[in-house]
Amino acid sequence: MERTRRILWVMIVALWASFFWLPNMDWAAAKDPDYPTKPIEFYINMAAGGSTDLSCRAFIEAAGKPLEQPMIPINKVGGSGAICAMAVKNAKPDGYTLGNITTSSTFVVPFSDDAPYKDLSGFTFLAKYGNNIFPVIVRGDAPWRNWKEFIDWAKKNPRGTKVGITGAKTADYKGLVLWQVEKREQAEFTYLAYKGGSEVLSAILGGHINLYASTIDPSTLSYIKEGKLRILTYIGTAKVQGHEDIPSTKEMYGFEGPSLLAVCGPKGLPPYVLKKLDDAFAKAVKDPNFIKLMERMNMPIEYINRVELTKYVEDVFNKTAKIYAGVKEEEMKKK
């Protein structure tokens, strides 16, 4: 009888302990060791057919091969990438909902007045796979042969410099970089906002603006090759093939616009998911089809793993906060 009581008591203690201990176990490794067991939804923050969309689709198609499950692309456009980012941020952290992130959604949106997220704590940054190229261009028949000539002219023509960008100056990182150039050079630009790259391209070709802070796409690249457009500098370190000798703002002034073609997930992804995704993304950048597409679109491949990407994003975010503080201080003075 005493022995039976002892056994029952041990069972009760064990059950009591498990009540507190089991919820704290890392069930991730035991719950779904064969992840992924179904297709992964992947949100893309740009419209279908553009360079960001196409590069992202090629990358996730390549990543699906080692995962042995497809990543299904779903375009969620709007809010400079904020709509897509929020869909990822609010997703269940089980590894079946991921998305892309770009410069705007990471380093511009959080600083807007009506931002749906003010920091990046709700995201897991997984891998960077490539760069955009941001050339600053003029018409091929413009009188300025290089950036110094343009700046000398701009100083003599206050506000005569009409710069075309997509969105407001503070809604495009290229605008933020040019704002820093203005301060350094003691020049003053007039910014004209357009809805999209095709509109700005038409404006520069038509002579309605002097300068276009652009992103390389097939149309812009073809005009550069034909001599209808000329590159004066780059906002970023990535450069167009055959035009590598043109100095960037980084080389001339020490600051640049970050280029971010990367993948993120919601906060709290379990270790077994992270391990599988780390492996898949490292292999994806070596996929021949992905490499071929990136070369065709003149988009440099740059792989940064999860740990390095997280640090990079944090560093750039903190630097960006200081730039925005300067912009807002200037706007307050003007009022």
| pLDDT at 12 > cutoff 70 | no
pLDDT in tens, 116-144: 999 999 999 999 999 999 999 999 999 99
Q: b/e string for 202-217 if b means 16 or more Cβ within 10 A?
A: ebbeeeebbbbbbbbb
Same fold, 37-131+259-326 and 135-257: yes
Q: What is the mean pLDDT of residues 270-292?
A: 98
- Taking alpha carbons only, the member of 108, 98, 102, 107 closest to residue 131 is 102
| pLDDT at 185 > cutoff 70 | yes
Q: How far apart are CA 215 and CA 220, in angstroms?
A: 8
Mean pLDDT, the chain, rounded, equals 88
Say which CATH topology domain 37-131+259-326 has: D-Maltodextrin-Binding Protein; domain 2 (3.40.190)
Q: How many CA atoms lie within 13 A of 321 on its CB side?
A: 10
| pLDDT at 284 > cutoff 60 | yes
Q: What is the mean pLDDT of residues 233-241?
A: 92
Map the chain to HEC letters.
CHHHHHHHHHHHHHHHHHHHHHHHCCCHHHHCCCCCCCCEEEEECCCCCCHHHHHHHHHHHHHHHHHCCCEEEEECCCHHHHHHHHHHHCCCCCCCEEEEECHHHHHCHHHCCCCCCCCCCCEEEEEEEECCCCEEEEECCCCCCCHHHHHHHHHHCCCCEEEEEECCHHHCHHHHHHHHHHHHHCCCEEEEEECCHHHHHHHHHCCCCCEEECCCCHHHHHHHHHCCEEEEEECCCCCCCCCCCCCCHHHHHCCCCCCCEEEEEECCCCHHHHHHHHHHHHHHCCCHHHHHHHHHCCCCEEEECHHHHHHHHHHHHHHHHHHHHHHHHHHHHHC
Class of domain 135-257: alpha beta
What are the domain boundaries of the chain?
A: 37-131+259-326, 135-257
pLDDT in tens, 63-120: 999 999 999 999 999 888 999 999 999 999 999 999 999 999 999 999 988 899 999 9
pLDDT in tens, 306-320: 999 999 999 999 999
Q: How many CA atoms lie within 13 A of 287 on its CB side?
A: 23
Q: What is the mean pLDDT of residues 222-235?
A: 96
Q: How far apart are CA 254 and CA 294, in angstroms?
A: 28
pLDDT at res. 172: 82
